[in-house]
C-alpha cells in the first residue's frame, strides 16, 4: 500500500471516504514563531475568534476540496517546475470577520500559482479558481480591535509546494502533508 492510500480515511465498511485537499506553502519555523508571538498579543488585546493553530499556518495556492484520492493530483503536479522565491509579510488584511496576514506578492509566487493551477486545469482537476490573494489566515469569526496590534514581520524562501489533507480530529482541524514538489 502506498503512503497516499494509508493517509486516506476509511469507513467502517472499508470504503475510502473523501479527503479535503489543498495545495499550499507551509511556513518556516521562524515565521511560525513570529506569528505565534503576534497571536499572543492579539489575545492580550482582547481579540476573540477561532484562532488557527500554529501548526496549521500556511499560504494556500489552490483549494481542491473533497476527493477520494490524491493520486491524480500527484500526477498532475509531477511536471510543475518552479524556482525558490521569497515570501514576505506585508501587514494585516481581513475578509469580513476573517483576519489574515497579507503576503507581499512577487513574480516567483505568481509563477508558482500559475504553474500549479495550469497543471490542475490540464488534468481536469477542479479547484476553487477565484482570484488568488496571497494571505495567511489567522482568525476566523473575528471580534475585537486587532488594529492596535502590530502585524508580524518576517520573510522566508519558499522552496517546496505541498499537497495537504485537512481533517477533523478530536474537534480540532489537523493538516497533514501528503506529498510535496
| Mean pLDDT of all residues in 118-134 | 95
pLDDT attached to residue 104: 86
DSSP-derived secondary structure letter, 10: B
- Give the list of residues 6+ apart from residue 113 with CB closer than 8 angstroms, or none: 61, 62, 132
Question: What CATH code is assigned to 17-180?
Answer: 3.90.1140.10
**Model confidence band, residue 15 (pLDDT cutoffs 50, 70, 90):** very low
pLDDT attached to residue 105: 66
pLDDT attached to residue 169: 86
Q: Across the chain, what does the average pLDDT equal?
A: 89
| Mean pLDDT of all residues in 30-49 | 96
- Ramachandran angles phi, psi of 17, nearest 5°: -90, 155
- CA atoms of 144 and 46, how far apart (whole Å): 6
Q: pLDDT for 64-115, tens place per residue? A: 999 988 999 999 999 898 899 999 999 999 999 999 999 986 899 999 999 9
**Model confidence band, residue 8 (pLDDT cutoffs 50, 70, 90):** very low
pLDDT attached to residue 153: 92
- CA atoms of 2 and 58, how far apart (whole Å): 25
Q: pLDDT for 135-163, tens place per residue? A: 999 999 999 999 999 999 999 999 999 99
Amino acid at each position: 500500500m502506498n503512503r497516499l492510500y494509508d493517509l486516506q480515511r476509511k469507513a467502517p465498511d472499508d470504503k475510502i471516504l473523501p479527503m479535503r485537499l489543498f495545495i499550499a506553502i507551509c511556513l518556516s519555523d521562524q515565521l511560525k514563531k513570529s506569528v505565534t508571538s503576534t497571536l499572543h498579543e492579539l489575545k492580550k488585546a482582547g481579540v476573540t475568534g477561532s484562532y488557527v493553530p500554529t501548526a496549521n499556518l500556511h499560504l494556500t495556492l489552490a483549494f481542491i476540496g473533497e476527493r477520494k484520492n490524491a493520486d491524480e493530483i500527484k500526477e498532475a503536479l509531477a511536471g510543475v517546475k518552479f524556482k525558490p522565491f521569497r515570501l514576505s509579510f506585508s501587514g494585516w488584511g481581513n475578509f469580513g470577520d476573517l483576519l489574515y496576514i497579507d503576503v507581499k506578492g512577487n513574480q516567483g509566487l505568481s509563477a508558482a500559482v500559475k504553474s500549479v493551477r495550469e497543471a490542475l486545469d490540464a488534468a481536469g482537476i477542479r479547484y476553487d479558481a477565484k482570484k488568488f490573494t496571497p494571505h495567511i489566515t489567522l482568525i476566523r469569526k473575528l471580534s475585537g480591535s486587532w488594529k492596535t496590534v502590530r502585524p508580524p514581520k518576517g520573510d522566508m524562501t519558499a522552496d517546496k509546494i505541498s499537497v495537504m489533507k485537512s481533517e477533523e480530529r478530536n474537534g480540532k482541524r489537523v493538516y497533514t502533508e501528503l506529498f510535496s514538489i
